[in-house]
Amino acid sequence: MDLMGSAVPQPFHFHWDLWDPVPLSSSRLDTHLSKSSPHQLLSASATFSATSSAYGFFSAPPSRIYVAQLATQGKLLLWGAKINSLIDKGQIWRLATSSLLHANIGHLMVNCYSLNSIGPTVENISGPRRFLAVYFSSAISSAVTSYWFCKAAAVGASGAIFGLVGSVAVFVMRHGGMIRDAKEDLQHIAQVIFLNMVFGLMSKGIDNWGHLGGLLGGAAMSWLLGPAWKCESMASDGRRIFSDRAPLFYLTDRKQKPR
């Protein structure tokens, strides 16, 4: 059985050149600009509270599901793993459940560490609903890509985790002018992806197709959903007014406008 196991070596940290923004609504944002003393907005630190977050929702269930796998003596694993021949027979749910299962305790620990490294950052920059959308879409795109290009059975959450990495990459590329050391951040992300792909090629039982599918799925969903902050105007008191110009908002606004 192939594993989908990733290793994000350290938490992602990057800083905005703006004061901490205060949301005005779901799609608008009002910020105070300070070029002389920039304040940190985003940081995947240990102080992040995951107890009431979407990331927190995913930080505990994998271990509980793994306990259930052990309790059922592998029956749960066989029921939910990505097995192409059974998917061909109509067991489509395996494209979703395979990302919730793990082959062994080491596989589980690696993915929990990776999720802890990248999860808080993605939720901080995207919010819980976008986080869930990116995570689930990445998991599905990972399993679908693996189904098409990898015949071996596979389980693991790393396809979804790769999607979170892709989401951060899209965010940094979109907001390079607002993030200090954006080039270095992108280089770090590229290094993470490259090292994991090389490790997958050199190791037996690693599903690189699943990793690639999750990465592309997460990047695509993040591009569609945003956030994509754009400066609209300057207020009389010197504050910059930002709006979220994610493509999804543009598409929905067009549909709502009368013709």
Residue 146, φ and ψ in degrees, nearest 5: -65, -40
Three-state DSSP at 20 gives coil
Tell me, letter by letter, the H, E, C secondary structure of 48-80. Answer: CCCCCCHHHHHHCHHHHHHHHHHHCCCHHHHHH
Residue carrying structure tokens 């901080």: 124
- From the candidates 107, 175, 188, 211, which is the catalytic residue? 211
Contact 78, 21 (CB under 8 A): no
In the residue annotation, 158 being an active-site residue is answered as yes
Short-list 198, 192, 187, 16, CA closest to 118: 192
Handedness of CA 143, 144, 145, 151 (dihedral sign): positive
Secondary structure in 3-state letters for 178-225: CEECHHHHHHHHHHHHHHHHHHHHHCCCECHHHHHHHHHHHHHHHHHH
Render 75-128 in DSSP notation, one character per residue: HHHHHHSB-HHHHHTT-TTHHHHGGG--SSHHHHHHHHHHHHHHHHHHHHHH-H
Cβ neighbours of 75 (radius 10 Å): 11
Catalytic residue chosen out of the listed positions 53, 114, 138, 158: 158
Enzyme catalytic residues: 158, 211
